[in-house]
Each structure stands twice: as C-alpha cells, then as structure tokens.
Structure 1
C-alpha cells in the first residue's frame, strides 16, 4: 500500500513552511481576559527576580547564546539579559531600566513591587471593580505613601572630610552583592570617586569623569581608586622607560606614517635606487613627525593609531616614549584628566596643547606579566579611575556592577541627603499610612488603596522569606512595633543580629530611590490595566 502524500505550502523562494491546523480556531483575548493575561505574564517575570531581593537573596546565572556565563543579582542586568517575547514582560524590563538610568539602585525592588501591585489588582478585578478605578486608587495611595516616606525621612550630614554616614549607606547597597565581604573597601572607593567629581553647588555628579576598569587575577581587596586614568596598554617598545616623571603628553589622532593619496594609486619600483629613495622619503617623513613632537616639548606620545617598526625604532632612538592603539574614549579621558588637547595633525601640535601628569608608570601584574599604564598626579584632579581586581572575569564584571550601584547611591545623597530605613522598614511605614488613609475614603478607591498597602508588604515578606525567617510572623511583629512606637525605623532582621532597629544596624536607603520605585511601579501598573488588547502590525495590514 502506497504511503499518503503530504501536501505543503511554499513561499516565494520555494522554501516549505508549516500550516498549523488549529490556526483558524485560535482566538484573541479582549477586555478583562486580556488584562488578566498581561498580569500573569508580569507576575511570572517578577517572581524570577523576587528571590534575588535583600542581603540573603540568591544570584542568577545567565548563559548567553554563545555560552558566556554571567552570575549576578542586579535586577536591571537580569532583566535586560532575559529573552522575553511577551509585550508586558518587556515593559517590566523597561521599568527596571528606567529605575537604573534615573537612580541606579533599587532595580530588583521596583520589579517586585510592580508584580505585587498587579497581583493585587487581579483579585480586585475578580471582585468586579473596573481597572480604571483600581488605577485611580493606586495613584491616590502612591501619593499618600510618598508623603509618609518624606515625613519619616532623616537627613544625614556629610562633608568631603567627614563621610562616616555616607559609608553606612554605601555599605547597605553592597550588602546583597558578591563583593559584600569587601564592602568597606568598595564603599570607600565609591564615596571617594563620587566626591572627587561632585559639584556641590549644583548638586550634580558627572559620571563621565569616573572610569571603572578591572583586571582578573587578584583579590577583591586589591581594588584601588586611582586619581587619574588607567588604560590597558603598554609602551610600544620594550626598551622604552617604564616610568616617566613630569610627563608632558602629546595626544594624537594622526598616524605615524607617510601621507597617502586619497584615490587609488600604484607605485612601481624598478630599481634599487628608487627603493632607496622611497626608504629615504619614509624615514625623513617619520623624522619630521618626531621633530614636530619634540619641538612642542612633549616627552610622551599617546596615539590613537598604530605605527610600524621603523617609526617605533625612530621614536626610541630620539628618546620619545610612545603608546599606540589607544581607543577614542580612553583618549578623551586622558585629555580630560591631563587638561590636554587632542591634536589631529602634527603641524597643529604646540606646547599649550600638551597634557600634564606628574607620573606615568607601567605596572605589571602577577606571573602573566600583563601590563597597564597609570596616569597619576594629573592636572585635573577630578578625573579618577576605580581599578578593580577579582579572581576571574565574572567576579570583576559583578564587582563593576556592584560599585556602580554604590556610586549611584552616593550620587543620590549628594542630590538629596534624606534617607529612609531599609530592611522593608520604609515599605511597612508606607503600608501603615495607606491603610490608615483608606479607612477615611468613602468611595470605591478604598479597596484599591488597601490592595496597594498589601502590595507594599510584598517587599518585607520577600526579605524575610529569602533570609530563612517566617515571613508572616516577622512582618506582623515589625508592623506591630512600628504602629505602637510610631517609628519607621523597624524592619526585617535579615542578617539575624537580634535587632530590628534599622537605624542602629546602619541599614539606610536614599529617599529618592524609594520614592522613584513607588512612582514608576504605579505608573506601569496603570499602563497595564489600560491595555485590553494587543494588535500586531501585520494584523493591521490584514484588515
């Protein structure tokens, strides 16, 4: 008996494609059903990062399509590296990125809060409350929560000479990171780097002046803050000096090579004399270039492009140390740090365009003999480099992310020096305020406000759960203490030190971070509750 023939469709290139039998039976969700589908997708993503919250939170291992491994508990990094297809799940990624761009810290907490708000809104929808009434109640509750945080916030006083309070806040942000065992070192690096570039009059911090670099092979404790620039380069010739005092630096974007015609060209050499004339021309061109540099008074050349062995030999012969193949961003940092000018032509080079550094040294690391250049004692003391070490690349990368979070926390305190207390204390304080206000509301929004208060409890519940404590019992105890003592300093004792007073345990969070979490999460939830259908572009084309 002959086998049945299988019919298939072909595209315009003759390639077969599958026709799904149930395609015509598929339905599109509308209205409340669509909103519930959106909420379910967002809750799924939120639950992934929920276990990473707090000092006892667990890290995630992310594997790229190329097989590269990344271990982190940074919410923004986890979210941005997840391959998500659902549109609402992608909105959560944007939410985490917004928190990271605006504040730099609290990227996990904002996703957990948004997931909890959506979970509470689903139960309200099941009770027949319209999604817009829920969103209105959430916004009303958000205003009350923000006002409660601002009322209970404390100011911390600091100066560039007295940074003890800043150190406590920076260490809080590092407590959940992989570098927590060296939190004192990293907190000090974060504070010193931010205060070095901060403009206290404008209350602004220019992160462009802070370079974060790293090198695998050392311990976390070997990390250091360099007042200058560190680049992953070495001298172009092994016989050039490894240390230059009072460096006058020529920063060039023009290559050490003879000029070439801009059009297609061909050079035929038919005799020894012609070859020698070409060699003489190249040598003279190189020497003219070197003399331009020498006449300007420079004793170090930093070039964006490479140069061949002949140019390298002539630089050594004329006693002019050089560094080649320096990238554009690094070249700009060197120019900023040394108050030099980037010069595009040798003819434009002059003494007033040179950068100045007190010390340029080449440092070798470990038995690998990897070398890096340190530009120190620069003219512009505001340019700094945080140079991090770690046992491997994965540790160094996570240390960079942890240090970035700590620097963002310090920057937030330069902008607004008010703090609230961590360990879920701020969320519990806001929850109590919203619950109390809901009792005075006669309209339907009171149900949404109570749901908002319940969603705020999700953060301390997750902290207790991740710390191995009884979540409901721990939350009830802290809520009771805050309510009876009228104080917002009590939170979850995540580290099991036997003290719930976060002020005494030195667990602080910047007020701007918590306020931004509340505002962003509430805005996202309102947007999700307003979406009752998803129309793809090709669906519009078919209409």
Structure 2
C-alpha cells in the first residue's frame, strides 16, 4: 500500500489504481444491521409516540415547551409539540415530519397519527420477535390499511352541507375544539370557525381558500371577546392623531410608493452651498408633496393606505388636505385589503385612477382598555368573502394556542366542505376497523394474517389512550365498546370520555371527517412501512451523541 495516493476528499486509490472510500471517525462509529437496526428505530418511534399519547382526546394533557431563547409554548397540538421538540434521532425526525404531513394535508388529527404509528411499531416489534420477516410485516400492514379504508367507506355517513342550517358543522367544529384550551367558550369558537369557512367557501367547486381567512390576535380582554370581522383587521392606526376615527363609504387608494420626493438614482451627491438653494430644495419638496396628495385626492380617494412611511411634513399636509392615511401596512395585509375592497395595488402616483380605488362601507379605529393600542377595522367591503378572526386573550401564550385551535377547527370544517362524509369519533371508527380487520384475518391463508391481527391491535390503542387520559380503565372501556358494537351492530359506539352517560358518539355528536381518519391510517402505515425497510444504519458509538 506504499504506492497508495489520496485525493482531496474521502476517496483513495491503492497500488493497482482501484478506488476505495475512507470513512471519517471510523474507529468511533458502529454499524447497526438487520433486526438490531429495525428494533433501534422502533424504540425511537415508540418513545416519541409515548410522549404524545397523553395529549390525545378531550381530556388530554398539555405540554409546556421552553425554547432556547426562553419563549414558553403551552399546547396539546401534536404537530406543534413535535415541531418545538429538540429531536436529533433520525427516526424521531421522521415522526415529526409525519405529524407535519397530517397538519399540512388535513390540519387535524396530528396527535392521533403519531400515536397510531407508535402502536404499529410496538406490534411490529412483537412480530419480529416471532421471527416474521420485516417485509412480510410491512406488506401485511399495507393490506390491513387498505382493508380498513374500505371498511371506513362502508360505515361512513353522508353529511350534506346546507348553508341555511350550520348546526351540524358547528357540532363537528366543537368535536375538534373539545380538547383545546378554548373549550371554556366552546360553542362560540366553533360558530366563529364555521362562519369564517362558509364566508370564503365555494360550495360549487367544493373549495375553501384559506388565504382569505386571517387570524389576528391582541393581548388583553378575555377569550369570550374573540369575534369574526367580515373584513380586514390591520394592526395599525391613522397616521395623525387628529384624523377622524371612523369613516363611512370609503374609497381606498392602496399605495406601494412612499409619500416622499423622488431621489436621484445615481451615486452622485448633492451639495447645497447657500440658504437660497436650501429654500428652493424645501419648496421643491413641498410642491412634490402637494402634487402627490392632490393626485390621490383628484382620483376620488377618501383614505390612503401606504406600504411605506412618510415624514411629519407629509403627514401634516395630509391632515390639512383632509385625507386620512395609514402608513407602514405590511405586504400580506396590503394584498388582503386589495382582495377585500376590490381595489388595485398602485406602485406609482402617476398610475392612480378612480377605477383602481377599493371600496369599504366602514373603516374604524378600535382602541383597547386603558392602553394606547389601536387597530383599524375595514368592514362592509366590496368582496365580503375576506374575513378576519380577531382573537383576544389574557396573554400571548393563550392567543397563540387559540390560533392553533381555531386553525384545527377551520381545517375540519373545510374537510367536510371538500368531502361530505363523516365517521364517528371517540375511538368508534378505530374500534369498528379493528373488529373488521381481526375478523378478515382468519380468511387469509398466508403469513400476513399475523400482521392483519397486529394492525387491529394497534388500532385499539387509540380508544385505549382516550380512556386512559380520561381516567377510565382502558381495557374495560375498550372491551365494553367492542361488545356493544358487535351486539348492536352499531359502529358509532366509542369511549365516553366526558361521562355523558352514553357511549353512542352519534348521540353525543362526536363527528370526524372521513378524509381526516383515512389520511391518518394511510400516513401512519406508510411511515411504518418505510421504517421497517431500513435495516442498515451507521451511527455514533455513544448513544448520548444521538
């Protein structure tokens, strides 16, 4: 090997010119292969699932997370918990991405999908111990997932949406909000979520544009003060304190050009050497200000909304010319205002014409308690489909959690608009699928029947976790629910977490979107299949390096 030559990087050549790879820190690393690798992955995935398990259901507990800079987050939203967790293990990172996929696609059920994946992992471990090959386990899980989805479709019920009767949708939103911090004003929040979705929904195309729903929060007040504004709320006030606080029949000029004189676009500097030149410069600036304001006034605008700022002189001139103005309005807000009022965003004063103005019935300033905080509300717009949910709360943490909760409720209502089919919650759908899978397993002659039964056992972990979190014996509650489902042939029997005296989720109005439940089973199964197929991993020798 004396003739071996190394090139920059990690490839070397031996004396015969054959390349080989030099791996960094070879002595400190160990290699996990085969069943050992898979069991290591299962252990990591289960530990993540066990953390989330206690947050499942209406009686689930919250998690408190502190970021590196001391920010406190309290939530029981699965996707948020995992996003804020400091996770280094590669398989644990996959579980984080799993909940994120559920959040992006469906918006609800982010905790349930991770708990189900963890339960499937647990079942896979016992099957591996029996000597069943991981590929056979993965294939069995895949078959069981497909069968479960077929069964869900067979027990799903139609849920026609009637814009004149929103009560069923409100009950669905209340199911989603049952486990959230906002359940002290449970119905009010559900109504706000439903009204917001119905305001922007296109029932013909079965589509909901979430870009038109804005969530805005302000610390102070109570959660009960949260309201739905049929328009836009902007966290700004009028640029001058003497401008009127309420305007009616407003024509808005939406500007992305600043109220300031044009600057020479060159690298040359301008030297002012005499008082006369300075006065001329000031007069020129004033003329330009007046010209800009007159252009806006002549176009017929009664309110100017500007993305950029303007100095005191321009502000005073706007007051003199009786043209109320708002400055430093951000890009997303500018776009939403343009959509809501039917106006056009104007990049130059010269392009402003009466046709490009937006219209709003009322623009008013909101003030809060004894603070100097003020916000603008733009209501009765030309396009009434843009809405804002304005959230109040005792502190920032509560407002942020209320935003997350309302997002979940909005998503669950949207899912029913896009697919009008439901199954019943409280673990009822999972129990029904578990019974169906266990029964069908007996008709399979191949080795996959073991994976089928294991899949059924994993599905039962969801109702068991719901019962455990509610302080009920999980085994007893599950056995009772299964017995009732079989004897009464009623797939709506679940776990009575709220102690309402009946396990029939149809009576309790615990409703979930079929789309959400189907996606949970599919995503969890795909994730488990992928992990079971990883049988070789190179990792640091010291477990503390994970």
Q: TM-score range by the shorter chain?
A: over 0.9
Is 1:287 matched with 2:290? yes
Within-5 A mapping of 1:62-77: 62-77=65-80
SS at match of 1:528: helix
Judge conservation of contact 2:29–2:538 (CA < 8 Å) in 1.
no
2:94 to 91, 94, 110: 91
Gaps of 5+ in 1: 1-21, 538-543
TM alignment of 1:308-319, pairs within 5 A: 308-319=311-322
Give the aligned partner of residue 109 of structure 1: 112
> Match of 2:252, SS?
strand
Contact 2:30 2:538 in 1 (8 A): no
Structure 1 position 369, deviation (Å): 2.7
Residue 390 of structure 1 corresponds to 393
1:416 CA displacement: 1.1
1:169 paired to 2:172: yes
Tell me, in whole angstroms, the C-alpha distance in 1 between the residues paired with 2:223 and 2:29: 55
* Alignment pair present for 1:473 and 2:476: yes
State the partner residue of 2:278: 275
RMSD over aligned Cα atoms: 1.2
1:19 corresponds in structure 2 to none
2:424 counterpart of 1:399: no
**Distance in 1 between residues matched to 2:332 and 2:101, nearest whole Å:** 25
> Do the aligned residues in 1 keep the contact of 2:234 with 2:333 (CA within 8 Å)?
yes
Provide the residue aligned with 1:189 in structure 2.
Answer: 192
Equivalent residue number for residue 145 of structure 2: 142
Q: Aligned to 1:121, what secondary structure does the other structure show? A: helix
Tell me the TM-score normalized by structure 1: 0.94
Within the alignment, does 1:443 sit opposite 2:427 as a pair? no
* Contact residue 178 and residue 398 of structure 1 kept, 8 A: yes
* Matched position secondary structure for 2:119: helix
Residue aligning to 1:514: 517
Aligned match of 1:13: none
- TM-score computed with the length of structure 2 as normaliser: 0.93
The residue number in structure 2 matching 1:11 is: none
Secondary structure of 2:243's counterpart equals coil
> Secondary structure at the residue paired with 1:504?
helix
SS in 2 for 1:352: helix
Give the counterpart of 2:235 among 232, 249, 252: 232
What do residues 431-480 of structure 1 show as CA deviations (whole Å, max 9, x unaligned)? 00000000111100000000000000110010010000011011101011
CA contact (8 A) 1:157 1:165 kept: no
Query: Equivalent residue of 1:503, what SS?
Result: helix
Shift of 1:158: 2.8
Q: Is the 8 A contact 1:226 1:385 kept in 2?
A: yes
- For 1:439 and 1:421, the matched residues in 2 are separated by 27
CA offset digits 1:211-250 (Å, max 9, x no partner): 1111110111111100000000000000001111000000
Displacement, 1:156? 2.1
Matched residue, 1:541? none
- Where in structure 2 are the equivalents of 1:318-467 lying within 5 Å? 318-467=321-470
Q: How does 1:177-216 map to 2 (within 5 A)?
A: 177-216=180-219
Match of 1:45, SS?
Answer: helix
- Measure the CA separation in 2 of the matches of 1:265 and 1:88: 58
Tell me what 2:22 maps to: none
CA contact (8 A) 1:43 1:119 kept: yes
Q: In the alignment, which residue of structure 1 is the partner of 2:18? A: none
Distance 1:489 1:437 in 2: 20
Are 1:525 and 2:528 counterparts? yes
Distance 1:415 1:310 in 2: 53
The more displaced of 38-47 and 267-276 is 267-276
Q: How many residues align?
A: 516
CA shift, 1:26, in A, is 4.3
Instruction: In structure 2, list runs of 5 or more residues that go unmatched.
Output: 1-24, 541-546
For the 8 Å contact 1:363–1:372, the answer to whether it is kept is yes
Instruction: Give the superposition deviation at 1:534.
Output: 2.9
Shift of 1:535: 5.2
User: In 2, distance between residues paired with 1:157 and 1:417?
Assistant: 6
CA contact (8 A) 1:217 1:392 kept: yes
Secondary structure of the structure 2 residue equivalent to 1:264: coil
Structure 1 residue 23 displacement after superposition: 7.3
